[in-house]
A and B are shown apart, each in its own frame.
Chain A
């Protein structure tokens, strides 16, 4: 072939055969690079939002040198994923999230039993019988309302479940959707408990409450900023989210119903089929012990510590003083979760 021969066209083509190998190389590179992961790293789904999970997991890395690769999902989503991935688990640990998610997960067989040393110090409600999950924090529900809204409507902060049925709240309440959020499930079970597990009575109440709902949010804390901004008048949230809203500078009121309101343990569990077992167990040990929980208050993360040896933050304790926090039977809740949520979807959600 003549040396000076050129492939003459009036147009330069983007790909010639010669350059093809370069392109293939460039395309393959990210995958090859991606394959080499850090030697010591765990993968986790975190139900805790980023702003709570990140500081804690970074502290863990600082303490142990183990990096945690995590993705945040709301409790329903995380559970759905873990169940869908049963055949091919993608993570090692489920970090944070209300206990009802964990009992449901336990039923689905997605966890592996592991009892960390701290479990011995924890009351019965903070650990699974079979050792499938352990609590790392406690999180009571609260009523949160916008101060200006209360002033405009000359209302006091709601002190009873019945207060929320007030017509002044029509279209003003935001709270979580039970299909995706554990906050909602805890809320529903609180209402059930308050009604002595009389489901019809409880659902009658919730149907009435529905008339005042502006929107059911996808995540538990989704309504906090709207309430803070005044776009909504109030809602029911976990205290950790409510206090965070206040910390951000929004003017809100926190109150409790005298009939009682529930609290959800926040837990951690080892995922069945995990790949980095030693490191994962280290994380569970660390999170269930004072090592992590003593860092909550300084980081202004308003969970109640689960470990008895860690004292709650004084401000937090002050707010909870006098509040009627009732206990929900987690086992019963786990067994009936799907049925209750289905009924809620059919009778309450779609009643609007």
Chain B
């Protein structure tokens, strides 16, 4: 086990792809990223956002058009992929079809010309760690998808790389397997204490296993932080709606006080406790999570009308009209709470705390 994990730094990195006919495409724009040693960082975003390109730049398969890449204090920008000592797990596994499981896992060790005994030891150890002991003689085509994924994992870790890179490794597996595999990956990474960069578009996956998540959008990192930070304090509508569900409630700042802000939605007033500051009269968007909205019998609060209601077993999802806006509301524990039919008038209770404000006129404070 290596005691010294490695941090990774991307400094002003850009990637521009030139197409003869279609013109240039900027996949990654002036990216700044500091990955802490031993951390599990996920690059999360929709397809085309540039996350895979960033990963490949770290791995050495893509040359940055600008900027530099550091492993620790060493500038590896110009270093070839086969010298970077990274373990790369591919989306399609990229296992060698003509080699057995054993030989696939042993590949990197043979490249290093390690003695046969040591190779055997490490391979068997690696296979054991991923739970495939005893399958060394099989050919790749004889394995299931999940097993292949584990071989790919074993192959990447036996070479004891300084960095582990994952390119959407679980996207080809079924849901149940995905959940199982992701925790295994996380467990292994923690055990081996290797810095890992993980790319996925699945936000639940990202939130479940990462130390930090970087949300990417159109070649840039919109926000980086822990899952909770991103969920509770998204800095942009994109981040807010990408991670979990969010209502972006359009309102005006009506009054600003010490820790209190009063917002106006149509004629109604809504006070929230927040450190954010803004000018009175400014238009803002308030991020309100569906589970934070309470519905009750109409009284004096916000008047809303249920547009649709879906019973989902563990929860009920409502679409409620508030003024000229549509709100998504999720109510768990339907056995105990009140149930509302479509068309019913309800009172909408918006939360008082934990509301993130977004907008140009808003100043967040830490």
Contacts and interface: CB of A to CB of B under 8 A. Distances in A.
A and B touching (Cβ–Cβ under 8 A): yes
Contact of A9 (B103, B113, B116, B117): B103
Interface string A1-18: 110111111110000000
Contact of B115 (A5, A7, A10, A11): A5
Contacts of B113: 1, 5
B82 to A, nearest CB: 18
B103 A8 contact: yes
A172 B359 CA distance: 102
A6 B117 CA distance: 11
A2 B117 CA distance: 9
Contacts of A1: 113
B106 A8 contact: yes
B349 to A, nearest CB: 66
A8 B102 CA distance: 10
B138 to A, nearest CB: 11
A106 to B, nearest CB: 63
Contact of B99 (A4, A5, A10): A10
Contacts of B100: 10
Interface string A150-171: 0000000000000000000000
Interface in A1-56: 1-2, 4-11
A6 B116 contact: yes
A5 B99 CA distance: 18
B98 A4 contact: no
Contacts of B99: 9-11
B116 A5 contact: yes
Interface residues of A, number: 10
Interface string B93-105: 0000011100100
A2 B116 CA distance: 8
A7 B110 CA distance: 8
A2 B103 contact: no
Nearest to B103: A10
A11 B97 CA distance: 11
A71 B110 CA distance: 57
Contacts of A4: 115-117
A8 B110 contact: yes
Given A2-B115, A4-B116, A11 B106 contact: no
Contact of A10 (B98, B110, B116, B117): B98
B287 to A, nearest CB: 55
Contacts of B115: 2, 4-5
B69 to A, nearest CB: 33
Contacts of A8: 103, 106, 110, 116
Interface in B123-146: 139
A11 B98 CA distance: 7
Nearest to B102: A8
Contacts of A5: 113, 115-116
A210 to B, nearest CB: 60
A7 B107 CA distance: 10
Contacts of A6: 116
B121 to A, nearest CB: 13
A8 B106 CA distance: 9
A9 B106 CA distance: 10
Nearest to A6: B116
Nearest to B115: A2
Interface string B75-107: 000000000000000000000001110010010
> Would you list the 9 A-B pairs with minimal beta carbon distance, nearest first?
A2-B115, A10-B99, A4-B116, A5-B116, A10-B100, A11-B98, A10-B103, A10-B98, A8-B103
Interface of A: 1-2, 4-11
11 contacts: A2-B115, A2-B117, A4-B116, A5-B115, A8-B103, A8-B106, A8-B116, A10-B98, A10-B99, A10-B103, A10-B139
Given A8-B106, A9-B99, A10-B103, 14 more contacts: A1-B113, A2-B116, A4-B115, A4-B116, A5-B113, A5-B115, A6-B116, A7-B110, A8-B110, A9-B103, A10-B98, A10-B99, A10-B139, A11-B98
